[in-house]
């Protein structure tokens, strides 16, 4: 039951907290789906496995979700909303200009990835492999990240030269880097990638010289 990427065995960081108090069948199902998809992939995750792990009846599973994929999408939306809130808060509360705020947001994202490897693999890798509506939902959830990067157009006054597509490319490259990092046999600390991500994000807006400063800044994550 091995998949192409390194298996991450363990519980969802997001649902571990929710299950500690008054767990609902729905939360238990979502938690099981995240755990199994992260560990074995959607090809090898069956409703029977989820039902057993979540300790629900087939009727309860059917009442909450029509399929494993539906539970996966629900889990992605719930955990994604929470994690995105943390990243947006870091962006909004950071002192300084756009570049400082964006750096704070990227470090916040790196911390989430580091502390929640199972959720990261589930959200960034397995949900991409599901395709279809799952991938579409995930792309929609990336919109706030695109907006954070796109804010650079307004703040540096180069809106006539760049479009929103520039920010979309930057965020897409960041997601690709996350996926590659997750698939390493020995993943490194995501914070180590922050300087490269910031260099990539800053260069279109502030130029190569300013972007190069990001590569030599002391890491704060």
Q: Are 3 and 42 in contact (CB under 8 A)?
A: no
Consecutive H or E run containing 132 = helix 132-141
Q: What pLDDT, on the 0 to 100 scale, is given for residue 157? A: 61
- CA–CA dist 123, 129 (Å, integer): 10
Q: Residue 139: CB partners within 8 Å, gap ≥ 6?
A: none
Task: Give residue 3's pLDDT band: very low, low, confident or very high (50, 70, 90).
Answer: very low
Q: What pLDDT, on the 0 to 100 scale, is given for residue 221? A: 55
Residue with tokens 């492999």: 129
Q: Classify domain 77-214 by CATH architecture.
A: Orthogonal Bundle (1.10)
**What's the pTM?**
0.86
Task: Give residue 20's pLDDT band: very low, low, confident or very high (50, 70, 90).
Answer: low
Highest mean pLDDT among 8-17, 87-96, 159-168, 200-209: 87-96
pLDDT at 83 over 90: yes
Higher pLDDT, 135 or 97: 97
pLDDT at 118 over 80: yes
Q: What pLDDT, on the 0 to 100 scale, is given for residue 108? A: 95
Q: What are 157-215's pLDDT values in tens digits?
A: 655 578 899 999 989 888 888 777 776 656 678 888 899 999 999 999 998 999 999 99
Domain ranges within the chain, ordered by starting residue: 77-214
Mean pLDDT computed over 127-143:
78
**Mean of pLDDT over the chain:** 86
Q: What pLDDT, on the 0 to 100 scale, is given for residue 6? A: 44
Q: Residue 116: CB partners within 8 Å, gap ≥ 6?
A: 12, 13, 14, 83
Tokens of 31: 């938690």
Backbone angles phi, psi at 41, to 5 degrees: 85, 160
- CA–CA dist 161, 177 (Å, integer): 26
């Amino acid at each position: 039951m091995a998949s192409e990427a390194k298996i991450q065995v363990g519980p969802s960081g997001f649902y571990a907290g929710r299950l500690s108090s008054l767990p609902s069948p729905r939360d238990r199902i979502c938690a099981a789906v995240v755990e199994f998809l992260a560990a074995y992939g959607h090809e090898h995750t069956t409703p029977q496995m989820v039902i057993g792990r979540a300790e629900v009846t087939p009727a309860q599973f059917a009442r909450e979700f029509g399929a494993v994929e539906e539970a996966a999408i629900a889990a992605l939306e719930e955990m994604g909303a929470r994690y995105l809130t943390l990243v947006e808060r870091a962006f909004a509360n950071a002192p300084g200009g756009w570049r400082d705020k964006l750096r704070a947001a990227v470090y916040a994202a790196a911390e989430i990835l580091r502390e929640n490897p199972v959720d990261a693999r589930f959200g960034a890798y397995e949900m991409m492999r599901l395709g279809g509506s799952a991938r579409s939902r995930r792309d929609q959830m990336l919109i706030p990240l695109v907006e954070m990067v796109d804010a650079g157009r307004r703040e540096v006054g180069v809106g006539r030269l760049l479009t929103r597509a520039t920010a979309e490319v930057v965020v897409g490259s960041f997601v690709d880097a996350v996926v590659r990092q997750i698939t390493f046999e020995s993943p490194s600390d995501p914070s180590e990638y922050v300087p490269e991500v910031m260099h990539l994000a800053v260069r279109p807006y502030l130029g190569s010289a300013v972007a190069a400063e990001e590569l030599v800044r002391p890491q704060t994550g």
